[in-house]
């Protein structure tokens, strides 16, 4: 006697089986320079009030400058920028949004409306990634770095 094979039932996503409590905040990892750039552009375009942009990577600045100009001039969003000294002194780097703040540390961060943060690590070509989060603790720390004269002069 041959028994019929059982059909596998579709499994619901884990969030349906075990919903996250409302106080749990997730962080998402984005891998690869192209994906990091697209994620930063995406959250910049979502801004309605303010963007804080701190960068030490020239490729990132050049890739985001058009989006930052668009958001600033078309959507009337306040854009605050701090750049590494080498970028401020570079003749190749030309933008209407040129920063008057010098970044004293290596970081690549975009914060929109104090609600979303993307922080990127781009030094190692083999391991370029970013973390996207809405964690208020991380956003406050990053924002305080921008406001702190020992980090941004």
Question: 67-113 pLDDT, tens per residue?
Answer: 999 999 898 899 999 888 888 777 666 556 667 788 888 889 999 99
Furthest-apart CA pair in the chain: how many Å? 82
Structure tokens at 43: 């959250």
| In a domain? residue 15 | no
How many structural domains compose the chain?
1
| In a domain? residue 13 | no
| In a domain? residue 112 | yes
| In a domain? residue 121 | yes
pLDDT on residue 71: 93
Residue 9 pLDDT grade (very low, low, confident, very high; cuts 50, 70, 90): low
| In a domain? residue 4 | no
Q: What CATH number should be reported for the domain holding residue 121? A: 3.30.870.10
State pLDDT tens for residues 49-62. 999 999 999 889 88
Please check whether residue 27 is in contact with residue 132, taking contact to mean a CB–CB distance below 8 angstroms.
yes
Phi–psi pair at 131, nearest 5 degrees:
-115, 125
Indicate if the pLDDT at residue 124 is higher than 90. no
| In a domain? residue 2 | no
What's the CA gap between 146 and 15, in Å, rounded?
A: 35
Indicate if the pLDDT at residue 23 is higher than 70. no
| In a domain? residue 18 | no
Domain that holds residue 47: 27-147
Helix (H) or strand (E) holding 69: helix 58-74
| In a domain? residue 58 | yes
Distance between terminal CA atoms of the chain? 82
């Amino acid at each position: 006697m041959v028994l019929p094979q059982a059909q596998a039932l579709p499994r619901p996503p884990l969030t349906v089986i075990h919903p996250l409590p409302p106080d749990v905040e997730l962080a998402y990892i984005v891998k690869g320079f192209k994906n990091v750039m697209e994620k930063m552009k995406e959250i910049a375009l979502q801004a309605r009030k303010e963007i804080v942009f701190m960068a030490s990577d020239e490729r990132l600045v050049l890739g985001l400058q058009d989006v930052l100009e668009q958001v600033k001039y078309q959507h009337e969003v306040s854009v605050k920028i701090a750049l590494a000294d080498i970028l401020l002194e570079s003749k190749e780097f030309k933008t209407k949004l040129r920063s008057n703040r010098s970044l004293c540390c290596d970081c690549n961060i975009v914060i929109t409306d104090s609600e979303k943060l993307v922080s990127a690590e781009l030094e190692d070509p083999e391991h370029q990634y970013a973390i996207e989060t809405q964690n208020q603790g991380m956003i406050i720390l990053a924002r305080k770095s921008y406001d702190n004269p020992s980090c941004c002069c």
